[in-house]
């Protein structure tokens, strides 16, 4: 968010729907990369978890 000069309020109120959360988590993750190897990912992150959920849902209803 700092890269674009956006506040959390701007992301929450001015950017439509889920797109705001995507930008918010993208910004958080990119800020963490500034620390290099000092930060270690312990999970798939928001995008990875949401992808898994959507794929499981598609399989459940027979789309995959």
CA angle 2, 8, 22 (to 5 degrees): 80
Return d(Cα 14, Cα 20) in angstroms, integer.
8
Residue 43 pLDDT grade (very low, low, confident, very high; cuts 50, 70, 90)? confident
Question: 31 to each of 16, 54, 56, how far by Cα in Å?
Answer: 22, 26, 30
Three-state DSSP class for residue 4: coil
- The answer to whether position 51 is within a domain reads yes
**Once rounded to an integer, what is the mean pLDDT over residues 53-57?**
91
Closest CA to 9 of 26, 24, 27, 28: 24
> pLDDT grade, residue 61 (50/70/90)?
very high
Whole-model pTM: value is 0.43
Number of domains in the chain: 1
What is the average pLDDT across 19-43?
74
Whether residue 3 lies inside any domain: the answer is no
pLDDT band at 2 (very low <50, low <70, confident <90, very high): low
Residue 17, domain extent: 8-60
């Amino acid at each position: 968010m700092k890269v674009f000069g956006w506040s959390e309020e701007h992301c929450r109120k001015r950017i439509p729907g889920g797109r705001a959360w995507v930008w918010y988590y993208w910004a958080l993750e990119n800020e963490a990369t500034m620390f290099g190897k000092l930060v270690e990912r312990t999970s798939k992150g928001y995008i990875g978890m949401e992808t898994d959920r959507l794929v499981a849902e598609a399989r459940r209803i027979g789309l995959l």
